[in-house]
Amino acid sequence: MFLSDNKMMSLSSSDCIRLKVGTLVSDRTFIDSMRTYSTNIEMQTLRIYSANPDKAPATRSGEVIENHICWFHNDSQ
């Protein structure tokens, strides 16, 4: 779930278009840190996206890196 493209953790379609990125490079994407607390979980991931060669200038080929932090909060207390 955290290392694949999904609605909760991934860039939106409009963000991908705006940033001119392609697909997620799953074998270079990883969970950087995870911390658990009494009321929530904090997770930081490093997500690598391929550059979209059709839309990126010649000087900007390669990969795009997204450093993502999310918090999961338990509201059921």
From the first residue on, what is the mean pLDDT of each consecutive set of 10 residues in the chain (77 residues)?
A: 59 79 80 84 80 58 53 56
Residues in the chain: 77
Find, among 28, 30, 24, the residue nearest to 52 by Cα.
24
Task: State the pLDDT at residue 59.
Answer: 45
The contacts of residue 46 (CB under 8 Å, 6+ apart) are: 29, 30, 32, 65, 66, 67, 68
Find, among 7, 6, 8, the residue nearest to 41 by Cα.
8
Residues β-bridged to residue 6: none
Task: State the pLDDT at residue 58.
Answer: 46
Task: State the pLDDT at residue 16.
Answer: 79
- Tell me the C-alpha distance between 67 and 59, whole Å: 22
